[in-house]
Amino acid sequence: MSDTAANAPATAAATESKPSTFLDKLSRFTIGKDRGELPEKDTGAASDGSENAAAAVPLTRWQKVKNHFRRFWIIHLVIVIIIAAIMLPILFIYIIPRIAQDLLNSGSIVIDGASILQPTSKTVMLKVESHVYVPGPFTVHTEPLHLNMFVPQVGSEYPMSVLELPENKIHKNTSMDTNGTILTPFVNYTSWQNFVHNTIFLDAGGLGLKGTVPTRLGKIKKFDLDLDKNVPSKGLNGFKGFTIDSARLQLPAEADGSNLFANATLPNQSVLTLEIGNTTVDILSGDLVIGTGFIDSLFLKPGNNSFSIRGTANLTTLLHNIGPIMAYQGQYIKNGYLQLTTRVTNIKYNGTTVPYYTEEMGKLPLVAETPLLGLLLNTVKGLLSGSAVNKTLVQEVKAKINENHADLHKRWADVADNSTELELVAKRHIEDLMRWSA
C-alpha cells in the first residue's frame, strides 16, 4: 500500500475533526452535485447525545389553539366578517325591535291624575299626568306621540279622542305628562259619551291607549313599536257617599224667588278633576218634585267636594200633596231625618248646554237624608232675620223646638206613628210658611 493510500484515512479523520465553516454548512442546503450532507433529523435526544435523554414536553390544548389561530388567523377573520355581515342586519331589523316590543308589552302605564276642563259639545281641555315603567336596563327615546284613546268596552276601532304626548326619554320609571293647554276634539262623540257614563257610574273603569310609538334604543336607528294597552283607573262610583249636610227655608223668599238653601258634599274617589259647569237640579220627595235647585260652577276635585245649592221650594205643591209626602217621609221622620233626592236636569258651561254631562248625570238620582231638626232650626234662624215676620211668634216656635231636646226624636216618632196627625201638623206649618212668605 502506498503512502498516499495510507494517509487517506488520516486526512479524512483530520478533516472531520476540523470545525465546519459557513460554506460547509451552506453546502448542505445547496441543490445539485456540490450539495453537502443533509443535516441529521432531530431525534429529540439531548445535546450531549445521551441515549437516555427525556422526550420533549407535549403542547397543551390552549397552546395548540393559539398556534392554530396564529397560522390561520386571516381565515378566521374572513369568517367573522361574513357572519357579521349576515347577522347585524338581522339583529337591527328583527331582534332588537322584537326585544323592545316585548319590553313595551311587559311595561305598565299608570295615570296619576287627569283634568277635563272647559267642556263643550265638541271639545274639552284634557290634561293627563302619568308615569310609564319599562323593564330592563335600556333607555328608549320616543318622538312626539299621537295615541288614540278609547273605551275598552267599546273597542279601539272607535277612538273617542287623540292624546298628544311630547317626546321623552324613558328609562325604568318615567313621568309622561300632556301639555294640558290645547283643546282636544272628539273623534267619536258616542265613544266619548260612553267614557263619561263609565266614569260616573263605575267603581273601577279603564282607558284604552293605542298607537304607533316611533322610538330609538340608545344610538340605534329609530324603529316603530305598537302600543295597545288598557290603563286601569278609578271611576266616580255613582257619587257614593253624597250627603245634604244642612238645609233651610228662607221666608220671605229673595228677589229671584230663592227660598231654599242647602249645603251638600259630593265625593270624588277618582284621580280626575272635572269642570262640570252651572248645574240645575230637581229636588224630590220620592217621585214628587217639590222644588228646584241651582249649583253655580260645579267643579269636582279628587276627594270630598262641598258646594251650595240655591233653589226654590214649591210650597203650593207641598200643601196639595201633603198626604203622599207624609206617607213617604214618615219612616224617616221617626229617625229625625227627611229623605230628599236631587236629579240633574241641565248643565251649562259658558251659557251652552253640555249634552253628555246633562244626559249621563241626569240618569243618576242622588239620594240623601238631611237632619229634620237642623232644617227647622235653620229655618227659624232665617225667620228671625226677616223684617216682615212676627218675631214674638218665631221666638215661641224656637223655644218649642228646643224644649226637651233630649226627647225630641221620641215625640217626632209619636207624631209619625199617627199619619193623620202628621199630615195635620205638616199642613198647618206649611200654611204658616206660605202666610209668612206672602
Residue 178 pLDDT: 86
CB-based contact 321:288 (threshold 8 Å)? yes
Please give the residue that has the higher pLDDT: either 334 or 414: 334
**Which grid cell is 374?**
237642623
**Which grid cell is 350?**
259658558
Q: Tell how far CA 242 is from the center of its chain.
A: 26
Phi, psi (rounded to 5 degrees) for 229? -135, 150
Residue 239 pLDDT: 94
Domains of the chain with CATH codes: 104-235 (2.60.40), 239-437 (no CATH)
Rounded Cα gap, residues 128 and 228, in angstroms? 17
Rounded Cα gap, residues 374 and 247, in angstroms? 7
Instruction: Encode pLDDT of 13-65 as tens digits.
Output: 444 445 556 556 555 555 555 555 555 555 544 455 555 555 677 878 888 77
Instruction: Encode pLDDT of 286-304 as tens digits.
Output: 999 999 999 999 999 999 9
pLDDT bin (cut points 50, 70, 90) of residue 75 is: confident
pLDDT, mean of residues 315-331: 84
Rounded Cα gap, residues 425 and 412, in angstroms? 11
Residue 221 pLDDT: 66
Q: H or E stretch including 174?
A: strand 172-177
Query: 3-state SS of 210-264?
Result: EEEEEEEECCCCCEEEEEEEEEEEECCHHHCCCEEEEEEECCCCCCCCCCEEEEE
Whole-Å CA distances, 336 to 31, 136, 342, 381? 132, 62, 20, 19
- Nearest Cα residue to 194 out of 427, 323, 384, 363: 363
Residue 399 pLDDT: 59
Please give the residue that has the higher pLDDT: either 210 or 431: 210
Whole-Å CA distances, 222 to 145, 166, 218, 219, 322? 14, 17, 9, 8, 75
Rounded Cα gap, residues 338 and 421, in angstroms? 17
214: exposed, middle or buried (C-beta count within 10 Å: 0-12, 13-18, 19+)?
A: middle
Whether residue 121 has pLDDT greater than 60: yes
CB-based contact 266:295 (threshold 8 Å)? no
Instruction: Encode pLDDT of 327-386 as tens digits.
Output: 888 888 888 888 999 999 999 999 999 999 999 999 999 999 888 777 777 776 665 555
